[in-house]
Amino acid sequence: MFFLSSYMNPPSASTTSADVDWLFDFILTLSGIFFAIIVVLGTWFVLKYRRRPGHAPQPSPSHSNKLEILWSVIPGVLVGLIFWFGFQIWLNTREVPPRAYEIQVTAQKWNWLFTYPDGTVDKDLHVPVGRPVRLVMTSEDVIHSFFVPDFRLKMDLVPGRYSETWFEVKEPGRHVVYCAEYCGTKHSDMLAQVVAHDQAGFDAWLDDASNFIDREPPVVAGGRIFQLQGCAQCHSLDGSGNAGPSLVGAWGKERLLADGSRVVMDENYARESILDPQAKIRAGFQPVMPTYKGRLEDREITVLLQYLKSLKD
Ligand code: CUA
């Protein structure tokens, strides 16, 4: 084995990723060996049996049972082995171990939302190490694909149904989540992180994440929700244009809508735009914002509005 995967692949961080790397090495080594045999023998035969003066062409044998069996059985066995190893690994990555910690994953253009058993929502995937984590996943709009290279893990999220996958992280650390299915303008920005904590760190994170609204000043808590819900993906905080209008300095001012009418950015307009984004579209923008109805509680919207109000230019 060349163990090329350790040079070519990202760090192997889950309990199943080493198996995938092993199979990758196995197939690559096999391919390398056969490549060498074919190229070396081919070159040698071309030179050895080239047409030369004084050498009459010889009739070649039309059939050889020995050869036919040899070049059918050996590749057959090797392909069977590749299938067998691959099938075993595939079964392992499909079968969720019992007592897995369950997290709901929602994909939408263009962010990830992870919902924990107590209802806490985060844009990053926080997990405890040394415990299988089951992901129950769906999409709000188009097909996305949850892809963590460090775990050698990829699973599609399809609107209108649930898919599942699982992994177990070995060490505390951070790993990037990509979207691996083209889903529109900001597909390549559809990133998140897996943050693996030890059990105590995870408990502390969950406690903070589920209670910060009660503990922090409204403006601070609202800012956290703005980040956690992925609002910043589309609404810039530096006044620049993006998929959504900038919210800096917008509060209390008149805004022009696509139908030519005007509306003042106040609590009611902001609340309506969060829960029913298609109701009033700002001039110059596409109606692409997903609804946050059922996703944000009233107390969350209240602190979020406090935060938006604080965004002065
Ligand atoms: Cu979501 Cu690409």
pLDDT, residue 246, reads: 85
Q: How far is the CA of 312 from the centre of ligand 1 (A)?
A: 32
Q: With a 6 A CB cut-off, is 135 part of the ligand 1 pocket? A: no
Q: How far is the CA of 157 from the centre of ligand 1 (A)?
A: 10
Q: For residue 85, which phi and psi values (nearest 5 degrees)?
A: -65, -45
Q: With a 6 A CB cut-off, is 105 part of the ligand 1 pocket? A: no
* DSSP strand pairing (125-128 vs 192-197): parallel
Q: How far apart are CA 194 and CA 243, in angstroms?
A: 25
Tell whether pTM > 0.85: no
**Alpha helices (runs of H) in 165-275, residue ranges in sequence order:** 199-215, 218-228, 267-275
Q: How far is the CA of 71 from the centre of ligand 1 (A)?
A: 44
* DSSP strand pairing (101-108 vs 133-139): parallel
Amino acid identity at 110: W
- 193 secondary structure, DSSP code: E
- 152 secondary structure, DSSP code: T
Note the pLDDT tens digit of each residue in 144-160.
Answer: 999 999 999 999 999 99
CB 106, CB 140: distance < 8 Å: yes
pLDDT, residue 31, reads: 92
pLDDT at 273 over 60: yes
pLDDT at 18 over 80: yes
Q: Which atom of ligand 1 is nearest to the CA of 179?
A: 2
301 SS3 class: helix
Q: With a 6 A CB cut-off, is 190 part of the ligand 1 pocket? A: yes
pLDDT at 121 over 80: yes
Note the pLDDT tens digit of each residue in 24-39.
Answer: 999 999 999 999 999 9
Least Cα distance to 265 among 224, 300, 235 occurs for: 235
pLDDT at 72 over 90: yes
Q: With a 6 A CB cut-off, is 182 part of the ligand 1 pocket? A: yes
Distance between start and end Cα atoms, the chain? 60
Q: With a 6 A CB cut-off, is 137 part of the ligand 1 pocket? A: no
Percent of the chain with pLDDT strictly greater than 70: 97
For ligand 1, atom 1, the nearest C-alpha belongs to 144
